[in-house]
């Protein structure tokens, strides 16, 4: 069967790179990029694009009818920091967007659905170090609450309707191609831009805030590996813990100084994102992903730093 893929939220930080990777794999015309915003020139000219708001059921229905997708990737969401500025919208978009897609996937016989969860699904009472797959989860951001609820819905649709839905709890994702979308981990991207442009950066998270992070190349590869794994290997139908590297702003700055010795890191007095970061894990145990579908990250802190700096420079 020819695959037909739909990526919703294709213009975002993840979508931009996932669409490119999927088009390489499946052919440009077989991957439909969808977003509420106009895509940049490259994406529009490398394959089909549709304006889609995941909250508009009629438009979604039309898209499913038109393309009869075999795989759907739902990336449209409000992240942790922006979500706190508009909790009701975050809940509506993150939750009803997901339910709309799950229902349409069943109605149109879509074979596989991908939906990302996040380290934000954990909360202040979750173990901080090497956070296990199964533990107390008490997220206190609307983003985290929507991710945890979404995980439960994914598992529910798998058991109740047999829908092959797969998910990963992404850590903070670091990339240079597209801007991050309003998360708590965004400092780890801004720091590279400012290090090159200004030689200094003011972090909104404090020096000791350790968070799980991952280079985008790893995240995209992992996502595709999960989606291509045989269904019987996917034992977790909520969302997989998924780890790359963990570091603090201070450690990251030290790594940047290996290449830009004059780089100065300063810290903001107070920022609401600090509280969010403090409620999240420091590091993640992803042994289920390793065991079930062979997950192994390729980028450590130093390789990621070299790649970020080289790409941003050019
Ligand atoms: N990077 C996301 C955020 O900071 C976490 O999933 O909101």
pLDDT digits over 120-156, tens only?
999 999 999 999 999 999 999 999 999 999 999 999 9
My answer on whether 190 and 302 are in the same domain is yes
- Average pLDDT estimate for 233-247: 98
Residue 78 lies in a domain: yes
- The residue behind tokens 């939906």 is 115
Mean pLDDT of 210-224: 98
User: To test ligand 1's pocket by mutation, which of 119, 214, 279 has the most ligand atoms within 8 angstroms of CB?
Assistant: 119
Pair 42, 183 in one domain: no
Are residues 178 and 107 located together in one domain of the fold?
no
Give me the residues paired with residue 165 across strands.
113
> In this structure, which long-range contacts are made by residues 194-198, counting pairs with CB atoms below 8 Å and at least 24 apart in sequence?
195/256, 195/260, 195/263, 195/309, 196/260, 196/309, 196/312, 196/313
Please state the rounded mean pLDDT for residues 7-15: 96
Predicted local confidence at residue 41, as pLDDT:
65
Nearest Cα residue to atom 7 of ligand 1: 183
Considering the domain architecture, whether residues 188 and 305 belong to the same structural domain is answered as yes
Report the distance separating Cα 14 and Cα 8, nearest Å.
11
Co-location of 190 and 121 in the same domain: no
Residue 291 lies in a domain: no
CA distance 142 to 263: 35
143 assigned to active site: yes
245: number of Cβ within 10 Å: 23
Provide the token pair at 197. Answer: 């442009």
| CATH number, domain containing residue 266 | 3.90.25
148 within a domain of the structure (yes/no): yes
- 292 belongs to a structural domain: no
44 confidence band (pLDDT: 50, 70, 90): low
Task: Indicate whether residue 118 lines ligand 1 (CB < 6 A).
Answer: yes
Which atom of ligand 1 lies at the shortest distance from residue 147's CA? 6
Find the mean pLDDT for residues 8-12.
96
**Within a domain: residue 165?**
yes
Q: Check whether 42 has a pLDDT greater than 90.
A: no
Per-residue pLDDT at 46 exceeds 90: no
Residues 30 and 116 in one domain: yes
| pLDDT tens digit sequence for 255-289 | 999 999 999 999 999 999 999 999 999 999 999 99
Residue 58 within any structural domain of the chain: yes
Q: What is the pLDDT of residue 1?
A: 74
Check whether residue 179 and residue 255 sit in a common domain: yes
Task: Please state the domain count of the chain.
Answer: 2
Q: What is the mean pLDDT of residues 237-243?
A: 98
**Region 229-252 average pLDDT:** 98
Model pTM score: 0.97
Residues 162 and 184 in one domain: no
The answer to whether position 281 is within a domain reads yes
- Of all protein residues, the one whose alpha carbon is nearest to atom 1 of ligand 1 is 172
> How far is 80 from 142, CA to CA, in rounded Å?
7
CATH number for the domain that contains residue 225? 3.40.50.720
CA 226 / ligand 1 centre spacing (Å)? 20
Residues sharing a CB contact under 8 Å with residue 243, sequence separation 6 or more, in sequence order: 171, 212, 214, 283, 284, 285, 286, 297
- Joined tokens for residue 173: 């994702």
Indicate whether 204 and 266 sit together in one domain: yes
Identify whether the C-beta of residue 44 lies closer than 8 Å to the C-beta of residue 35.
no
User: Where does the pLDDT of residue 40 fall: very low under 50, low under 70, confident under 90, or very high at 90 and above?
Assistant: confident
Same domain, 138 and 279: no
Residue 72 β-bridge partners? 6, 113
- When the pLDDT of each residue in the chain is averaged and rounded to a whole number, the result is 97
Is residue 16 within 8 A of residue 176, CB to CB? The reply is no
**Which residue, chain included where needed, has tokens 């206190």?**
140
Task: Characterise 294 by phi-psi region: left (phi > 0), alpha (psi -120 to 50), beta (else).
Answer: left
User: Quick one: 18 and 31 in the same domain?
Assistant: yes
Does one domain contain both 228 and 308?
no
Residue 293 in any domain: the answer is no
Range of the domain at 258: 174-213+244-286+298-313
247 Cα: distance to centroid of ligand 1 (angstroms): 15
Whether 71 is in the pocket of ligand 1, judged by its Cβ within 6 Å, is no
């Amino acid at each position: 069967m020819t695959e037909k893929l739909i990526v919703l939220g294709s213009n975002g930080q993840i979508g931009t790179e996932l669409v490119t990777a999927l088009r390489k794999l499946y052919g440009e015309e077989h991957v439909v990029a969808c977003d509420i915003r106009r895509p940049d020139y490259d994406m529009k000219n490398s394959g089909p694009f549709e304006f889609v708001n995941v909250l508009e059921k009629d438009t979604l229905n039309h898209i499913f009818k038109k393309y009869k997708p075999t795989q759907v990737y739902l990336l449209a969401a409000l992240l942790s920091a922006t979500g706190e500025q508009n909790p009701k919208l975050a809940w509506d978009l993150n939750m009803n967007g997901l339910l709309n897609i799950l229902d349409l996937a069943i109605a149109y016989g879509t074979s596989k659905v991908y939906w990302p969860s996040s380290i934000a699904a954990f909360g202040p009472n979750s173990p901080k170090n090497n956070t296990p797959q199964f533990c107390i989860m008490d997220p206190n951001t609307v983003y985290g609450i929507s991710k945890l609820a979404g995980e439960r819905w994914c598992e529910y649709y798998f058991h109740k309707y047999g829908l092959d839905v797969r998910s990963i709890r992404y850590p903070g994702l670091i990339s240079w191609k597209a801007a991050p979308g309003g998360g708590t981990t965004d400092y780890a991207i801004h720091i590279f831009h400012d290090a090159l442009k200004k030689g200094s950066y003011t972090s909104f998270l404090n020096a000791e805030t350790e968070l799980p992070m991952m280079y985008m190349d790893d995240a995209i590869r992992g996502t595709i590996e999960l989606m291509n794994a045989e269904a019987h290997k996917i034992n977790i139908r909520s969302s997989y813990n998924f780890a790359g590297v963990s570091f603090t702003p201070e450690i990251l700055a030290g790594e940047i100084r290996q290449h830009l010795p004059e780089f100065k890191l300063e810290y903001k007095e107070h920022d609401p994102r600090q509280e969010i970061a403090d409620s999240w894990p420091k590091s993640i145990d992803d042994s289920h992903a390793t065991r079930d579908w062979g997950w192994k990250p390729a980028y450590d802190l130093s390789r990621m730093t070299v790649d970020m700096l080289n790409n941003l420079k050019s």
